[in-house]
Amino acid sequence: MKIKVGVIFGGETVEHEVSIISAIQAMNKIDEEKYEIIPIYITKDREWYTGAMLKDIDSYRDISLIKKFAKNVILVYEDNIYKLKQKKALLSKVVTDIDIILPIVHGTNVEDGALQGYLQTIGIPYAGPNVYSAVVGQDKVYMKKIFESEELPIPKYTWFYDCDYKNNQEEILENINKLKYPVIVKPATTGSSVGIGIASSEEEIINKIDEAINYDSKIIVEEVIENLKEVNISVLGNYENQKLSEIEEVIPADKFLTFEDKYIGNGKVKGKTGFKIPSKTSGSKGMLSATRKIPAEITDKEREKIERIAERAFKVLGSSGVCRIDFLIDNKTKKVYINEINSIPGSLAFYLWEPKGIKYTELLDDIINIGIKDYKKRNSKTHSFESNILAGYAMNGSKGMKGK
**In this model, does residue 277 exceed pLDDT 80?**
no
Q: Report the mean per-residue pLDDT for the chain.
A: 88
| pLDDT range class, residue 93, cuts 50, 70, 90 | confident
Percent of the chain past pLDDT 90, that is, above it, reads 77
Q: Is the CATH number 3.40.50.20 carried by domain 3-126? A: yes
**In this model, does residue 296 exceed pLDDT 70?**
yes
Please give the Cα distance from 180 to 175 (Å, whole number): 10
123 to 75, 80, 100, 116, 232: CA distances (angstroms): 11, 11, 10, 10, 34
| pLDDT range class, residue 191, cuts 50, 70, 90 | low
Instruction: Name which of 170-174, 223-227, 285-289 the model is least confident about.
Output: 285-289
Backbone region of residue 286 per phi and psi (left: phi > 0; alpha: psi in -120 to 50; beta: other values): left
Q: Which CATH number does 137-151+226-253+289-378 carry?
A: 3.30.470.20
**pLDDT, tens digit, 9 for 90 and up, residues 14-37:** 899 999 999 999 999 999 999 999
pLDDT for 283 = 40
- Which residues are CB-neighbours of 197 under 8 A, at least 6 positions away? 184, 185, 207, 208, 211, 212, 256, 258
| pLDDT range class, residue 112, cuts 50, 70, 90 | very high
pLDDT for 258 = 52
CATH topology (fold) of 157-223? Dna Ligase; domain 1 (3.30.1490)
Contact in structure between 336 and 302 (CB atoms under 8 Å): yes
pLDDT for 391 = 72
Please give the Cα distance from 176 to 315 (Å, whole number): 31
Please give the Cα distance from 202 to 184 (Å, whole number): 12
pLDDT for 267 = 40
Residue by residue, DSSP assigns 120-166 as HHHT--B-S--HHHHHHHH-HHHHHHHHHHTT-----EEEEEHHHHH
Pairing of strands 242-251, 228-237: antiparallel
What would the mean pLDDT of 283-287 be, rounded to a whole number? 41
pLDDT for 291 = 82
**pLDDT, tens digit, 9 for 90 and up, residues 244-272:** 999 999 987 655 555 444 444 444 433 33
Cα distance from N-terminal residue to C-terminal residue, the chain: 59
pLDDT for 90 = 58
DSSP character at residue 298:
-
Q: Spell out the SS3 assignment of 180-212.
A: CCCEEEEECCCCCCCCCEEECCHHHHHHHHHHH
**In this model, does residue 97 exceed pLDDT 90?**
yes
| pLDDT range class, residue 281, cuts 50, 70, 90 | very low
Contact in structure between 364 and 278 (CB atoms under 8 Å): no
Distance of CA 364 to the CA centre of its chain: 16
**In this model, does residue 94 exceed pLDDT 90?**
no
**pLDDT, tens digit, 9 for 90 and up, residues 298-357:** 999 999 999 999 999 999 999 999 999 999 999 999 999 999 999 999 999 999 999 999
Domain-by-domain residue ranges, the chain? Answer: 3-126, 137-151+226-253+289-378, 157-223
Give the other-Cβ count within 10 Å of 91's Cβ: 7
**pLDDT, tens digit, 9 for 90 and up, residues 37-49:** 999 999 999 999 9
**In this model, does residue 168 exceed pLDDT 80?**
yes
**In this model, does residue 120 exceed pLDDT 60?**
yes
| pLDDT range class, residue 106, cuts 50, 70, 90 | very high
What would the mean pLDDT of 181-210 be, rounded to a whole number? 90
DSSP-based three-state secondary structure for 252: coil
pLDDT for 11 = 97
Please give the Cα distance from 194 to 209 (Å, whole number): 13
**pLDDT, tens digit, 9 for 90 and up, residues 122-152:** 999 999 999 999 999 999 999 999 999 999 9
Q: Identify the CA nearest to 17 among candidates 151, 191, 225.
A: 191
